[in-house]
Amino acid sequence: MSTEKNVDLISSVDNAGLSGYHYKTWIISGLGFFTDAYDLFIIGVVTSLLVLSGWNSLSAIETSLLDSTALLSAVIGALVFGRLLDKLGRKAIYGLELVLLVAGALGSAFLTPVNGVYVLIAWRFLLGIGIGGDYATSSTIMAEYSNTRNRGKLIGMVFSMQSLGLLAGPLITLGLVYSGISLGIVWKLLLAFGAIPAMFVIYSRRKMPETPRYSLNVKGDAESARKNWKEYTGITADASTDNRVIKQPWTSIITQKKFLLTLLGTAGSWFLMDWALYGNSIMSSQMLSVLVPSSVVGLNHLIRTTIYSAMVFGFAALPGYWIATFTIDRIGRKTIQVIGFTAMAASFAVLGIFHQLLSSTYVVEFLLVYGLSYFFIEFGPNVTTFIYPPEVFPTKIRGIGAGASAAGGKIGAFIGTFLNVIILGSSIGESGLFLILAGLSALGLVFTVLLLPEPKRIDLEKISGETELQEKEFTSAKPLKQS
């Protein structure tokens, strides 16, 4: 056990070296994100399997709703859990989002009848609420337990577990399909698997103590903050609430011009990035169909596109996540996000302009350019848009700031996924879709440059504007001197 007597508790959090409790928090939070990614992206494969397993053909609207409903309900989950996180506390609700996720995943798998497309949509809606809640809660909690020097890496490690979930989908699909199991069982197993990792960490999330920053900066409970910090980390430090608790309502804080512009930057750039990412990823089977010869049909067609998806996710996306995560505290959030959006715009523009690449004749060339776009989505705004929100909003509105930012992203993901089905079936086609994505990426670059600060290695209270709010409130509360 280490002792830091006479050291302010928040300074102790900010200056602590990487330790076991950092990695414990990462695992507890990160397994949820493995599950989030798997559950969101596996539905594209499942949608293709349903018809092959004996379901009636799905209409374009039914396919769109199946692919995108969880993204829409994630908006609700992110906003509701984000607000509850600030109102009731981090400990009070952490883990409940995974209960909803598990229920939605198991219901999707085992309580959906054949041809029950709207029953499946309903379960996916519940699943999405849990996923949205996880976006708001996990980033906030990891940020508040992180030290200043490694905060970007630690939050990024939570989010980068998504890369493993992204890759797990096509690999598990291929394993089940090649096993010879009936396709009517395969799609159920694919949906049910999404509940397993989450089950392992629900209890651990419920047992986590309240974060020191929430106890001090919102509740004004120095004794609980000191006690919980010592029990969770083994570190003893002094705690004081002097000049910390901001009395003004959360609505008056978040509606200040500074925070509204920041929210526009975090939610806006996330909206634009998710439009590009989720439409491609959930619909990877359809997007990659252009590479499959017309003579390859049915299950063999699905196997071919799933192999291509696994290649893109494994060789391009996964390295991008982790390279961003382990360099972000040196390179900076803003720099990586600018690089990512720029490369995305260029890659999508090449695919849109040189439409001859969208054929089975140019498989290698297409996968190289398409894979490049995926690498820079991950070594770029997909990682940074998750890290930014819990850093740039004060403790009192950190939950709703993170939740509203994630909600902005999932609105973009819903629109992109829903419209992609329609666009691909229209005269615009896949080349036109890539040009649209190039334009959205360019706009994301503008949002980043104009609206977002650089938070690397700056204490949370300073970069979030909390110190300024505390000083203003303390100054205004001082009694006037008698003349």
User: Could you list the mean pLDDT of each consecutive 10-residue stretch along the chain, which spans 483 residues?
Assistant: 66 96 97 95 92 94 92 97 98 98 98 97 98 98 98 98 94 96 97 96 97 96 96 94 90 97 98 87 71 89 90 94 98 98 96 89 92 96 98 98 98 89 80 92 98 98 96 71 45
Identify the pLDDT of residue 243: 82
Identify the pLDDT of residue 460: 97
Q: Is 8 helix (H, G, I), strand (E, B) or coil?
A: strand
Query: Could you read off the pLDDT of 148-190 as tens digits, one per residue?
Result: 999 999 999 999 999 999 999 999 999 999 999 999 999 999 9
User: Token pair of 372, please?
Assistant: 């490049």
Query: Could you read off the pLDDT of 106-137 as tens digits, one per residue?
Result: 999 999 999 999 999 999 999 999 999 999 99
Distances, alpha carbon 191 to alpha carbons 44, 108, 325, in Å: 11, 7, 29
Place of tokens 């303390």: 474
Distances, alpha carbon 452 to alpha carbons 14, 18, 57, 332, 392, in Å: 22, 27, 45, 12, 9
* pTM listed for this prediction: 0.93
Distances, alpha carbon 199 to alpha carbons 35, 95, 99, 483, in Å: 10, 10, 8, 66
Q: What CA–CA distance (Å, rounded) separates 228 from 233?
A: 8
CATH superfamily of 8-472: MFS general substrate transporter like domains (1.20.1250.20)
Contact 272, 443 (CB under 8 A): yes
Residue 194 CA from chain centroid, whole number: 16
Q: What CA–CA distance (Å, rounded) separates 89 from 74?
A: 20
Residues 340, 343, 344, CA angle at the centre, nearest 5°?
A: 80
Identify the pLDDT of residue 480: 46
